[in-house]
Amino acid sequence: MAVNHRFQLAARPAGMVKRSDFTYSDDATVDDPEEGEITVKVLYISLDPAMRGWMNEAKSYVPPVGIGEVMRAFGIGRVIASKDSKFEVGDLATGGFGVQEYATSGTKGVTKIDPQGAPLPVYLSLLGMTGMTAYFGLLDVGLAKEGDTVVVSGAAGATGMAVGQIAKIKGCRVVGIAGGKEKCDYIVDELGFDAAIDYKGEDVKAALRTHAPKGIDVYFDNVGGDILEAALSNLARRARVVVCGAISQYNNTEPVKGPANYLSLLVNRARMEGFLVFDYAERYDEAVREIAGWIAAGKIKSREDIVDGLEAFPDALVKLFKGENTGKLILKVAES
């Protein structure tokens, strides 16, 4: 029987995640599927900011990962055994397969993908949860429309890149906030953002006044903290602030910093709204069709930052939370 290497949660992290928060075990074997289940060989694993929340004790929109459980993760796998008539051996699929080499599970939430349609990693980025998050957050929660000024933080991250490019397609003026000159150049030169603000080198508040002189109509927030405050200080009337995440706050040991200037919502008759992409599951098809069309037409680019090998998982997670990735951070576990 094949060994199933995997990462189990060993401890609830205090502050930044670290390798010792996980146990890397090599003593598990691959389970056979029972009726209605499949077994997949995991090829790619998606690294997502939300993972940090899943590691905390507190119940959120999903239960926390239990100590000793395999770390939760979305990924792409190849079916190697199936007791569900909808899946055949050889099929490729996305699902919540966890941080391990093989996953045996029911097929709820598992979706077949077409390897001819796009390179596999794109199914974890633009055509996966990342793209869905950008699409529904920007358009359904943020109500972005032609002529709006859209500002997105974490703009060189996977979701931010998608948000900015979709906003451009929809006729918005787009300003991205990212860390460092390289990322800022990339989103302007390669992705067509109208402007970029380097939060590591610029006064974000002042730069927003320069680049969004009529105020921000939609602020898509991936980071929270001081950048959220800077955005709130420059809202246009009836602005929509989309709360997608707050990566600057997830690894804090101090309490989360709330936006001291939230009364800007009052003065500007503005709205701050949170959302979870899973609530849009029934409409994923619609978004995938539209995004796939944009990819085919060369209107939107996917960029993945691929790290090799299951064992690199904890380091890759730290890379994510330090903002060292550009584009979608993905762990490549196996070739095929």
Closest approach, Cβ 197 to a copy of itself, in A, equals 22
Closest approach, Cβ 279 to a copy of itself, in A, equals 6
Distance of alpha carbon 176 from alpha carbon 178, whole angstroms = 6
The structure tokens 């598992």 sit at: 110
When binding is defined by CB under 8 A, the residue of 30, 122, 152, 270 that contacts a copy of itself is 270
Tell whether residue 111 is a contact of a copy of itself (CB under 8 A): no
Tell whether residue 227 is a contact of a copy of itself (CB under 8 A): no
Tell whether residue 246 is a contact of a copy of itself (CB under 8 A): yes
Distance of alpha carbon 142 from alpha carbon 219, whole angstroms = 8
- Give the torsion sign (CA, 176, 199, 142, 222): positive
Stretch touching a copy of itself by CB under 8 A, among 82-90, 174-182, 237-245, 300-308: 237-245
The closest of 71, 68, 70, 15 to 48, measured between CA atoms, is 71
When binding is defined by CB under 8 A, the residue of 274, 283, 293, 308 that contacts a copy of itself is 274
* DSSP string for residues in 233-260: TTEEEEEEEEE---TTTTT-SSPP---T
First-to-final CA distance of the chain = 19
Tell whether residue 243 is a contact of a copy of itself (CB under 8 A): yes
When binding is defined by CB under 8 A, the residue of 266, 289, 335, 336 that contacts a copy of itself is 266
Tell whether residue 143 is a contact of a copy of itself (CB under 8 A): no
Tell whether residue 139 is a contact of a copy of itself (CB under 8 A): no
Q: Which is nearer to a copy of itself, 53 or 117 (CB)?
A: 53
Tell whether residue 279 is a contact of a copy of itself (CB under 8 A): yes
* Token pair in block for residue 162: 């998608």
Stretch touching a copy of itself by CB under 8 A, among 121-129, 172-180, 273-281, 326-334: 273-281
Tell whether residue 15 is a contact of a copy of itself (CB under 8 A): no
| 133 φ, ψ (degrees, to nearest 5) | -60, -45
Query: How far, CA to CA in Å, does 12 sit from each of 52, 60, 71, 165, 244?
Result: 10, 15, 12, 36, 23
Tell whether residue 207 is a contact of a copy of itself (CB under 8 A): no
- Give the torsion sign (CA, 274, 277, 283, 285): positive
When binding is defined by CB under 8 A, the residue of 245, 314, 323, 327 that contacts a copy of itself is 245
Closest approach, Cβ 229 to a copy of itself, in A, equals 8
Q: Which is nearer to a copy of itself, 206 or 260 (CB)?
A: 260
Count of other CB atoms within 10 angstroms of residue 149: 24
Which chain residues interact with a copy of itself by CB under 8 A? Answer: 60-61, 224, 229, 243-246, 249, 255-276, 279
